[in-house]
Amino acid sequence: MGTLYPLTNYCYYYAEDVSVMALPTPSLGPDITACGPVVISVIDPDPGTVYTWNTGSTGSSITVDTSGIFIVTTSGINCPMSDTAEVTIGQPFAFTLPIDTLVDLCTNPPVVLDIGPIPYGASAYWSTGSAGPRCEVSASGIYSVTVDGAEICPSTAEVRVIDTCVGPVFIPNAVSPNGDGINDRWKPVWWAERITSYELRVFDRWGHELFSSMDPDTAWEPNDVPVGVYAYQLHAIEEGSAAAYEAVGHVTVVR
């Protein structure tokens, strides 16, 4: 039998290849300040990753209409990763204009439209081109004002000024049916106490009737007609008047 020699001061090692993968980290970008619903999206989303939001939604983007902190988290067998975005939905400045105003501009010009004080840093712009919380007008028409600023969202209101000096009715010469709530509908505006007979008709350039009404409170809503000029005919009789009021003219549809 051979001689046995003990081993001392020895060591051993074990080697194996290890793969290291970088986990996809979602990024929502900077915080958002907006004046309405906004879309929050993961920047360069990974097609193979499931994204879950603290709202309960899934997907690489969500639409929100309230202020708050929104968190997106990646889901999978590996460590979850997340990112956060704070959304601030601004509020418009609340103001009011006078109700539609009847005024005799022959003897009492001009009319002063005033929305009152506006916040520091805000601006008010009128459809006349003037700026500031007050505007002077000296003719019949629909006047609008928009208030906006760095810390508030834009808000718009309108008022109709009717000059009783020029006759018993104000007939707007334009209508803008673009869904903004400003001058979307068209009709003559009367200041007579009562209309006993009434007929309004609107035609296109070829004479085709597009609208008719025997109710002075019913307006034409030209949502489906092209931009252009349209003709109207108006017949009305005021209570207590023996003569009929007749008018023909044109109204322009703009968007």
Please give the residue range of the domain that contains residue 116: 91-166
pLDDT attached to residue 96? 80
178 and 254 inside one domain: yes
159 and 190 inside one domain: no
Q: Is residue 174 part of a domain?
A: yes
83 and 116 inside one domain: no
181 and 136 inside one domain: no
193 and 216 inside one domain: yes
110 and 132 inside one domain: yes
Q: Is residue 224 part of a domain?
A: yes
Check which CATH number belongs to the domain holding 255 and give it.
2.60.40.1220
Could you tell me the sign of the dihedral formed by the alpha carbons of 239, 245, 248, 250, in that order? negative
Q: Which two tokens stand for residue 90?
A: 């601004």
Nearest to 185 by CA among 196, 200, 164, 198: 200
Q: Is residue 7 part of a domain?
A: no
User: Residue 98 and residue 49: Cα distance in Å, rounded?
Assistant: 56
Mean pLDDT of 212-231: 95
Q: What percent of the chain has pLDDT over 90?
A: 44
Check which CATH number belongs to the domain holding 98 and give it.
2.60.40.10
145 and 201 inside one domain: no
pLDDT in tens, 131-160: 999 999 988 888 999 999 877 888 998 888
Q: Final residue of a domain: which of 166, 186, 217? A: 166
Residue 243 confidence (pLDDT) above 80: no
User: Residue 75 and residue 86: Cα distance in Å, rounded?
Assistant: 21
Q: Is residue 220 part of a domain?
A: yes
Q: Final residue of a domain: which of 166, 199, 222? A: 166
81 and 95 inside one domain: no
183 and 242 inside one domain: yes
User: Residue 208 and residue 251: Cα distance in Å, rounded?
Assistant: 15
pTM for the model stands at 0.53
Query: Is 17 or 154 the better-scoring residue by pLDDT?
Result: 154
114 and 156 inside one domain: yes
Q: Which of 22-26, 59-63, 75-79 has the highest mean pLDDT?
A: 59-63
Q: Final residue of a domain: which of 44, 62, 89? A: 89
Nearest to 141 by CA among 127, 151, 129: 127
DSSP state of 128: T
Q: Is residue 24 part of a domain?
A: no
Give the total number of structural domains in the chain.
Answer: 3
48 and 100 inside one domain: no
